Structures are given as structure tokens and as C-alpha cells.
């Protein structure tokens, strides 16, 4: 596997211009002869589909849900960053770049992050033009709020529903192209495999989730915008259908998988309540603008929060990090919450929770103002917990939320398989070892609106504009393998074997992942995970019950296929975590910490992207390294004190 990041030479600020100028172009009359498959209709997928359709390409767009508008980007709450400097508070493209590289603990590529900061301003303008109802000041100008890891106010938002509004912007732009005949929409399709012919991506195999039919689709290029792999933990804030299958299948077809151990555990989620719980709910980081995090000073204090006097509360983030306070980056906030609970200060029935308190904000700004900013989040919280955050503090605890790792891509967002691109959370490119709040929306839309549409032409210009087909035997071979897997998943039930449900195995896997590869990791735990995961996998294939058939709508079968892939992927995640013997961002190795329990990087040995190459079932994957060099910033020990 050759890793050529294709980063243009020259000064940081000129790299993207240089790339755009040196890219080959596809003549407007020829664009209509090319077909592009885009899998996923979240921010990265829908924005790319809309834009490529507008440019004249023929797009085939696929989504798992009944409508492209339901992709999980819809659930992003807090906002989207851009360096507009509307607040006149000293923001700039370079500062957004710097904050993002530093927030990522110096484990991202400088060039990619700088480009992200450069195009971020265009995103805001584009979304405003589409009619996205961003929050406004009284004078009619765009409003901003603050987010973790930054000391400027640069986050644009639409109440607590920013992801929804941005996604609806991209979705409606895409539906306009559907009406124009440039985008063909395939809903309720799940990508089951990538088809590679002579080393080049040529198409995909899908399962039609309504009929069960295994379908073949061809194109001149394939884009995966299929999101992250957080559901390997079973409980996460991801939507139920979010999965790793598309990315994992691409990996098994030759795409390098980068930094799978970088998982973001978000500090402000609603604590787990019981064993039947199916998912966790995020409470936006924007709440940390006004909410104060605290735990009782006394261990095991069981008094009601409102009965604990001010002097007996420990506002530990404000105490430990006076300059960033409650707005430290997510990884820092999460680890501190875990530490407080591990030391016996946790609150709630399980002791796995800390308070997020709005009493002071309500007193200072009035209930109206606080509700205008966070009303829908408070509503959501009250629905789930039956407790009113305007009357008593919220209880929160960290939960798996976002995955910084993903398919390795070069500066053009192409994977190691020619013709296969990965965008948004599906790739690894911009967030290093920790993503800052309000940067996921920025990256998804940057990739889809402003990066891929330029770079994909550079590839397509080298491909003959002749019609594609699914005649190559590679298509039938891949489809047959999918049908074979379906038969194997259904086998136990057909034979009347007693066993366990898909969820049972998913929970088993999730528990191992959370305990051994969660917020704090160590060698013994990771080795334990590497021993247990193959055991659970073997048991899964031996005992899983999947009722029904493959020729119909079968939700158990859908889940079984996803969990089968998580059971393989989890092992790679643990292996990568074991291999990275340093702490950085979301990856915290207990063996590598400062005296103050902060993450301690090892730049001498680990300033690289870890890229894994698949070598076949039962064979260990091979590790490749893309060195990270920093010419414009100096990696420092992150300090938010």
C-alpha cells in the first residue's frame, strides 16, 4: 500500500488554490457522460450529490432510511464553526486552523485543516443563500455562540437543531437535482460491498431493504459518505442504523483504514438508565456556554442537588482550567467527569453522572433568554429523564459520540483504492485525535460542497467517459458473496438451533469495547479485548438467531449484517489502540499521562497517521505510517488552564 497524501507544495495558505489550479477539468459537455455513486445522504453525501448534480454529473445517491432527509447529521445540535470574525473578537482563518489542529492534539494534517478553515466561511454564505434559518441578532445580522476549545465566538447555529437545518438545506438542494433528473435517489438501500475491477472502484452491491434483492450498481467513481463507527460500542449517541459496513467492506477491498482508535466520547450526554436502553442521547456542548459543571465535594453525597450548598460543590472544570473553564475540549471534559465519578463524587442512582447547572444563567439572563437558546434541549432532557433542568441541574455523563478515525484519504479525499472517495465522518482527515465541537458539520459540508466537487474532476478526467455496466464478473462475485453471507446468518434459525438474538451479541461486544477501549485504555485491557472479540464473533456465527428470510423486509437480518462487521472491526480498533502507546486527544492510554493526569503525547514515536491494510481473513493487518509534519504550528502539550 502506497500512501501519497498529494499535498501541494508551497505556503499553507496557497496549497488549496494550487491544487484547484493544477487539477484537470472535465469539459462541461462531458460531465453528463460520467456517473458517480454517493453512498449516504448526510451532510457530506447530500451536499456532494447536490453539487455534482448542479455541475452536470449523473449522481446515484443511496441511503438506508426511507428518506434522504433522515441521515444522522440531522441530530447534530449545537452549531457550525466558521472564521467570519463577525464578533470582532480576533478570529481569523489561521486561528480556526490553529484551534482545530491543537484541539485534535496535533494528530491531523496541517494542509487539510487549513483548507477546512478556508472554506468554512463559504459554507455559511451558501447555507444562508439556501434559506437556512440561522439565529440572528436584533439588527438582523447572524448570531454566534461559543464552543469548547476556542476563546472566540465563531459558532453559527439554528437553535439546538443546527444539524437538522443544515441537512435540510443540503437535502432540499439535492431534491432539486432529483427533480432536474441529475440525481437518482435510491432509498432503503444498504451498501453491502464495494466492487473493485483491476484495482479500481467501479461500483457497489446493495441490499434493497424492502424486497431483500441484492442489487448491482456501476459508476465511474464511488463516494462513501457513510458516517462513523460509534455503534461498535452498542450504546452511543449515533442513530440505530449507523454502522461501519460500507467503510469496512471498502477496507476489505483494499482501502486503508486510518486511526480507528480515535473515538470521541462526548462529555454531555444523558446517563445510562437501565439494561434495556437502546441508545444514548446527547445534550449539546453549547449547553456548556451557560451551564456549570459540578459534583458534590463530599464523596457519596446523596442529597438532592438543590440541597447542596454552594460551598460544598466542586466546579471542577472552572477550578482546574481557569482560562477555558466549562469550555475545555470534549476529551478533557469527558476524562474529568470520569475521574470525578471514579473518585466517588458521581451523582444519580448509578453514581455515573455529574451535574450541569443552569441556575446561575437563569438568574443572570432570565428564563426566557435561556429557553430561547436551549429550549428544545431542555424539552428533550425532560422527556427522557422526567426532570426539569430549569428547576434542578441536569445529570450528564460521557458517551460515545463521534469517530475521528476512518478511511484514509489523500488531500483529494481519495482512498487508497483509485476511484473510491470518502467524505465527512467516514474519512479520517481533519480532526486528528479529537474533534472540536461544531466542526463535524463544518467538515461534512466542506467536503461535499467545496472540496470533492473540485477534486473528483481531476480523477474523472483520466477515466474514459464511456457508459459503465455491471457486466464484469467482479459484480456477480461480490453479489454472490453477499447472498452467501445472508444464508450463513439465517442458517441457525433455519436449522432450529436455540441461540441468542443479534442485540445480545452486539451488547456483549459493546461492553468489551466500552470497558477496554473506552475513555481510558491500558495494555492489559486492550489485550483482553483482542482475546474476547474473536470469541464473541465465533459465538455469534454459531448461535445468532435471525428469523424470516432474505427475500423480504427483515430488520433482524439488517442488524445481523451490521453486527457481523462490527465484530470484525472492533478488533482492528483495539489493535490500533494497543499499538498507539501514547495518549492523544480521545485516545487516553493510562500508561502515558502527565502528573496532572492529562494526556501525554509522544511526538517522537507517534506523530503519524496509523493506516491499516487488510491482508485477508485470519491474517494480521499490516500497519503503514503517514508521518505528520508541522511547518506552521509547533506541537505543544495542550494546555487549557
Partner 1 sequence: MSSKTINIIVKIWRQNGPLAKGAFEEHALKDISTDSSFLEMIDVLNEWLTIKGLEPIAFDHDCREGICGMCGAVVNGTAHGPDKETTLCQLHMRRFKNGDTIVIEPFRSQGFPIVKDLIVDRSALDRIIAAGGYVSVNTGSPQDGNTILIPQHVAEQAMDAAACIGCGACAAACPNGTPMLFLGAKVSQFALLPQGQLEAKKRAIAMVMQMDKDGFGNCTNHRECEAVCPKGITIRNIARLNREYLKASFTIDH
Residue whose CB is less far from partner 1, 173 or 478: 173
CB 315 within 8 A of CB 299: no
Footprint of partner 1 on 534-563 (CB under 8 A): 545, 547-548, 552-553, 555-556
Look up residue 449 and give its three cell numbers. Answer: 460542497
Please tell me whether residue 47 binds partner 1 under the rule CB under 8 A.
yes
Q: Which of residues 190-229 bind partner 1 (CB under 8 A)?
A: 210
Q: Smallest distance, Å, CB 65 to partner 1?
A: 6
| All cell numbers assigned to 438 | 461544531
Angle (CA) 623 236 374, round 5°: 125
Nearest to 47 by CA among 394, 322, 413: 413
Given 125, 471, 535, 590, the residue binding partner 1 (CB under 8 A) = 125
Q: Which stretch binds partner 1 (CB under 8 A): 30-38, 107-115, 136-144, 469-477?
A: 136-144
Q: Is 176 in the site for partner 1 (CB under 8 A)?
A: yes
Instruction: Give, as ranges, the residues between 581 and 620 that touch partner 1 (CB under 8 A).
Output: none
Min separation Cβ 402 and partner 1, Å: 15
Q: Which is nearer to partner 1, 267 or 348 (CB)?
A: 348
Least distance in angstroms from the C-beta of 125 to partner 1: 5
Here's the x/- map for partner 1, 51-70, by CB under 8 A: it reads as x--x----------xxxxxx
Judged by CB under 8 A, the chain residues 479 through 508 that form the site for partner 1 are: 493, 496, 500-501, 503
Query: Quick check: 175 binds partner 1 (CB under 8 A)?
Result: yes
Is residue 138 a contact residue for partner 1 (CB under 8 A)?
yes
Query: Using CB under 8 A, which of the segments 176-184, 216-224, 508-516, 592-600 binds partner 1?
Result: 176-184
Q: Give 56-115 as a DSSP string.
A: T-EEEEE-SSSSGGGSGGGG--S-EE----TT-SS--HHHHHHHHHHHTTT-S-HHHHHH
Q: How far is the CB of 3 from partner 1 (least distance, A)?
A: 30
Check if 330 is active-site: yes
The CA–CA distances, whole Å, from 388 to 9, 306, 322, 392, 394 equal 55, 12, 29, 6, 8
Report angle CA 236, 244, 163 to the nearest 5 degrees: 55
Quote the CA–CA distance of 142 and 158 in Å, as a whole number. Answer: 10
- Which is nearer to partner 1, 230 or 525 (by Cβ)? 230
Residues 360-399 that bind partner 1 (CB under 8 A): 379-380, 383-387
Residue 86 or 94: which CB sits closer to partner 1?
A: 86
Pick one of 13, 33, 86, 325: the residue that binds partner 1 (CB under 8 A). Answer: 86
Nearest CB to partner 1, comparing residues 134 and 217: 134
Q: Does 21 bind partner 1 (CB under 8 A)?
A: no
DSSP state of 447: I
Identify residues 415-454 at the interface with partner 1 (CB under 8 A).
449-450, 453
CA pair distance 546, 554, nearest whole angstrom: 9
Nearest distance from residue 575's CB to partner 1, in Å?
Answer: 30
Instruction: Compute φ and ψ for 196, nearest 5 degrees.
Output: -115, 125
Residue ranges in 207-355 assigned as alpha helix (H): 245-252, 316-320, 330-342
Q: Output 277 or 636, the one with its CB closest to partner 1.
A: 277
Between residues 124 and 201, which has the closer beta carbon with respect to partner 1? 124
- Binding partner 1 (rule: CB under 8 A), the pick from 29, 129, 311, 604 is 129
Q: What are phi and psi of 614, to 5 degrees?
A: -75, 135
Are 438 and 186 contacting, i.e. CB atoms less than 8 angstroms apart?
no
Cβ partners under 8 Å of residue 245, min gap 6? 190, 191, 192, 226, 561, 562, 565
Half-sphere exposure of 437 (CA within 13 A, CB side): 35
Crossing angle of helices 43-55 and 162-179, rounded to 10° = 30
Closest CA to 161 of 377, 356, 424: 377
Site string for partner 1, 224-253 (x = CB under 8 A): ---------------xxx------------
279 binds partner 1 (CB under 8 A): yes
Among the options 107, 109, 330, 532, which is catalytic?
330
Amino acid at each position: 500500500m502506497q500512501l501519497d497524501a498529494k499535498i501541494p507544495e508551497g505556503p499553507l495558505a496557497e496549497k488549496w488554490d494550487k491544487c484547484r489550479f493544477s487539477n484537470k477539468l472535465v469539459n462541461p459537455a462531458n460531465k453528463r457522460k460520467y456517473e458517480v455513486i454517493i453512498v449516504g445522504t448526510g451532510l457530506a453525501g447530500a451536499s456532494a450529490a447536490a453539487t455534482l448534480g448542479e455541475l452536470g454529473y449523473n449522481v446515484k445517491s443511496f441511503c438506508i432510511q426511507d428518506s434522504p432527509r433522515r441521515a444522522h447529521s440531522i441530530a447534530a445540535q449545537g452549531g457550525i464553526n466558521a472564521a467570519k470574525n463577525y464578533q470582532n473578537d480576533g478570529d481569523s482563518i489561521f486561528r480556526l486552523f490553529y484551534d482545530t489542529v491543537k484541539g485534535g492534539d496535533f494528530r491531523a494534517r496541517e494542509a487539510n485543516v487549513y483548507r477546512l478553515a478556508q472554506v468554512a466561511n463559504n459554507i455559511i454564505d451558501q447555507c444562508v443563500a439556501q434559506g437556512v434559518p440561522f439565529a440572528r441578532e436584533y439588527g438582523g445580522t447572524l448570531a454566534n455562540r461559543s464552543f469548547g476549545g476556542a476563546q472566540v465566538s465563531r459558532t453559527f447555529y439554528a437553535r439546538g437543531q443546527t444539524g437538522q437545518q443544515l441537512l435540510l438545506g443540503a437535502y432540499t438542494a439535492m431534491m432539486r437535482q432529483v427533480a432536474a433528473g441529475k440525481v437518482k435517489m435510491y432509498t432503503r438501500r444498504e451498501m453491502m460491498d464495494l466492487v473493485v475491477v483491476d484495482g479500481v472502484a467501479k461500483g457497489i452491491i446493495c441490499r434493497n431493504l424492502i424486497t431483500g434483492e441484492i442489487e448491482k450498481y456501476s459508476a465511474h467513481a464511488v463516494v462513501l459518505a457513510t458516517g462513523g463507527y460509534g455503534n461498535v460500542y452498542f450504546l452511543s449517541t449515533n442513530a440505530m442504523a449507523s454502522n461501519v459496513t460500507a467503510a469496512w467492506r471498502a477496507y476489505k477491498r483494499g482501502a486503508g483504514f486510518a486511526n480507528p482508535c480515535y473515538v470521541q466520547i462526548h462529555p454531555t450526554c444523558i446517563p445510562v438508565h437501565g439494561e434495556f436502553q437502546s441508545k444514548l442521547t446527547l445534550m449539546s456542548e453549547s449547553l456548556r456556554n451557560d451551564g456549570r459543571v459540578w459534583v458534590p465535594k463530599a464523596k457519596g453525597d446523596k442529597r438532592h442537588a438543590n440541597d447542596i450548598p454552594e460551598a460544598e460543590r466542586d466546579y471542577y472544570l472552572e477550578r482546574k482550567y481557569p482560562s477555558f473553564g466549562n469550555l475545555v475540549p470534549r476529551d478533557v471534559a469527558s476524562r474529568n467527569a470520569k475521574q470525578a465519578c471514579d473518585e466517588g463524587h458521581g451523582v444519580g442512582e448509578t453514581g455515573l453522572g455529574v451535574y450541569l447547572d443552569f441556575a446561575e444563567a437563569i438568574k443572570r439572563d432570565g428564563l426566557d433568554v435561556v429557553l430561547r437558546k436551549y429550549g428544545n434541549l431542555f424539552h428533550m432532557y425532560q422527556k427522557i429523564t422526567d426532570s426539569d433542568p430549569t428547576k434542578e441541574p441536569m445529570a450528564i455523563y460521557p458517551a460515545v459520540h463521534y469517530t475521528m478515525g476512518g478511511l484514509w484519504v489523500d488531500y483529494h479525499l481519495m482512498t487508497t483504492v483509485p476511484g473510491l472517495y470518502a467524505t465527512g465522518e467516514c474519512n479520517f482527515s481533519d480532526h486528528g485525535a479529537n474533534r472540536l465541537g461544531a466542526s463535524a458539520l463544518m467538515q461534512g459540508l466542506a467536503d461535499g460542497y467545496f472540496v470533492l466537487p473540485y477534486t473528483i474532476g481531476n480523477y474523472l478526467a483520466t477515466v474514459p467517459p464511456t457508459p459503465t455496466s455491471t457486466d464484469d464478473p467482479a459484480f456477480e462475485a461480490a453479489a454472490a458473496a453477499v447472498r452467501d453471507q445472508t444464508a450463513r446468518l439465517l442458517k441457525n434459525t433455519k436449522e432450529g438451533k436455540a441461540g441468542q438474538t443479534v442485540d445480545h451479541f452486539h451488547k456483549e461486544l459493546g461492553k468489551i469495547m466500552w470497558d477496554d477501549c473506552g475513555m481510558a485504555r491500558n495494555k492489559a485491557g486492550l489485550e483482553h479485548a483482542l482475546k474476547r472479540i474473536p470469541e464473541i464473533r465465533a459465538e455469534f456465527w454459531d448461535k445468532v438467531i435471525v428469523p424470516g428470510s432474505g427475500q423480504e423486509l427483515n430488520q433482524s437480518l439488517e442488524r445481523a449484517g451490521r453486527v457481523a462487521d462490527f465484530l470484525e472491526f472492533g478488533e482492528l480498533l483495539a489493535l490500533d489502540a494497543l499499538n498507539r502507546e501514547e495518549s492523544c486527544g480521545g485516545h487516553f492510554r493510562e500508561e502515558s499521562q502527565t502528573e496532572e493526569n492529562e494526556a501525554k503525547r509522544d511526538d517522537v514515536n507517534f506523530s503519524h497517521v496509523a493506516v491499516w491494510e487488510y491482508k485477508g481473513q485470519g491474517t494480521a493487518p499490516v500497519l503503514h505510517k503517514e508521518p505528520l509534519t508541522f511547518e506552521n504550528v509547533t506541537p505543544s502539550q495542550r494546555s487549557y488552564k
